[in-house]
Amino acid sequence: KWSNDHVINQSVAIIPALPKEQLLMLKGSVDEIPPPLSPATMNLLMAIGQNHQLTQLMTQLQKMPELHRTEMLTAYNSINLPGLYLAINYGNADIVETIFNSLSEPGYEGLLSKKNLMHILEAKDKNGFSGLFLAISRKDKNVVTSILNALPKLAATHHLDNEQVYKFLSAKNRTSSHVLYHVMANGDADMLKVVLDALPLLIRTCHLTKEQVLDLLKAKDFYGYPGLYLAMQNGHSDIVRVILEALPCLAQEINISASDIVDLLTAKNLARDTGLFIAMQRGHMNVIKTIFNVLPTLFNTFKFDKKNMKTLLLANNSNEYPGLFSAIQHKQQNVVETVYLALSDHARLFGFTAEDIMDFWQHKAPQKYSAFELAFELGHRVIAELILNTLNKMAESYGFTDNPRYIAEKNKMETLLKKASPHTAR
């Protein structure tokens, strides 16, 4: 927990003024240190994890003037790191829990201004990274859980409004990037689940708004890149799954709609490509399968319509060019097959009629060609045959083999394939 260089830094900070306190602290004889402790010693107390002593001090601090109380709880070491930040850095979850739980007690109500309280809780380093940002970045689930579990009661004791709680949870660094952006971009699904599991209670007790919750889920960086976009781009399917599986519980607290879910899944980068578009283009099968496997389970909670589903199946970018077509261009046969199978398996659930199915099959890109025509023109015969075969199976399964549009489309596809050499390159 406590490295040699840290001991040296702390010693330089407090030995000149507090040799006796320093000596007792380094010996581990904290019970022998007479009150009142100095801020420097309080800082060291948090850093080395002396929880018993800290528990007593948190009660004593209630009797001090607010200025001294705040100074003690925000005490910095020689390199400008507050004690709570150090406790988090060294994984002292019991210290973090003691501070948050003590501040949540009724005895602290009205003893700290909201500004001073947030200053204590955020525990930022000189670069603007908060303690929560640090804990999440270090994947310390114990510390993060301690903070999130204490936050509802703490917010109630000090009458924090939803904007203050939202700001704390977003834990933005000095570049205004959400901490969850980094979690999603790096594929840390376990930590994301810890945060999302705590959200329903926080929404209920701290009155977080729908906009604030969706903003946390979008988790944009300074440039506006959503975290979920990066997760899809990097193939982090577990991130997608954790978010989708959390939505029904969140929807019990706020009015999340099917359109909101589609907006999350089609979040765009600055070039206006969606994460799903890039996932299809790069062949991230795990991401695509996760979305289409989980979505049907959400139909009991959310009212998806045909328009929502077509948006996801095509995954257009801002130029209305479908991710499905980009997958064809890049010879991502498995992606193409997965998209068409998703439609085939769930068309009734999506509310698709025979005409809707044919609309999808004949959908044309801005360049005025369909998916089959694109595959054929590029010489990807295997993909072209896959598209035709899937259409035939759907026509039989859904009973529209006598549909004039289907017959015409089927004949056109078969004619083109017969004209082409059977040895056309994939």
Question: Do you know the residue count of the chain?
Answer: 426
Is 216 within a domain? no
Is 363 within a domain? no
Question: 174: which residues sit within 8 A by CB, 6+ positions away?
Answer: 127, 128, 129
Is 137 within a domain? yes
- Phi first, then psi, for residue 76 (nearest 5°) are -100, 150
CA distances from 32 to 2, 19, 40, 221, 280 (A): 21, 14, 17, 48, 65
pLDDT by residue, tens only, the chain of 426 residues:
444 445 545 544 444 444 566 556 555 555 565 655 688 878 888 988 888 888 888 988 998 899 989 999 999 998 999 999 999 999 999 999 999 999 999 999 999 999 999 999 999 998 899 999 999 999 999 999 999 999 999 999 999 999 999 999 999 877 778 999 999 999 999 999 999 999 999 999 999 999 999 999 999 988 888 999 999 999 999 999 999 999 999 999 999 999 999 999 988 877 788 999 999 999 999 999 999 999 888 987 898 888 889 999 999 998 899 999 999 999 999 999 999 999 999 999 888 999 999 999 999 998 889 999 999 999 999 999 999 999 999 999 999 999 999 999 999 999 999 987 554 444
Q: Which domain holds residue 45?
A: 1-160
CATH number at residue 63: 1.25.40
Is 292 within a domain? no
Is 147 within a domain? yes
Which sign does the torsion angle of CA 199, 205, 206, 208 carry?
positive
Is 218 within a domain? no
Beta carbons of 272 and 323 less than 8 angstroms apart: no
Count structural domains, the chain.
Answer: 1
Is 34 within a domain? yes
Show the CA angle centred on residue 155, arms to residues 145 and 115, nearest 5°. 110
Calpha distance 24→32 (Å, rounded): 7
Is 92 within a domain? yes
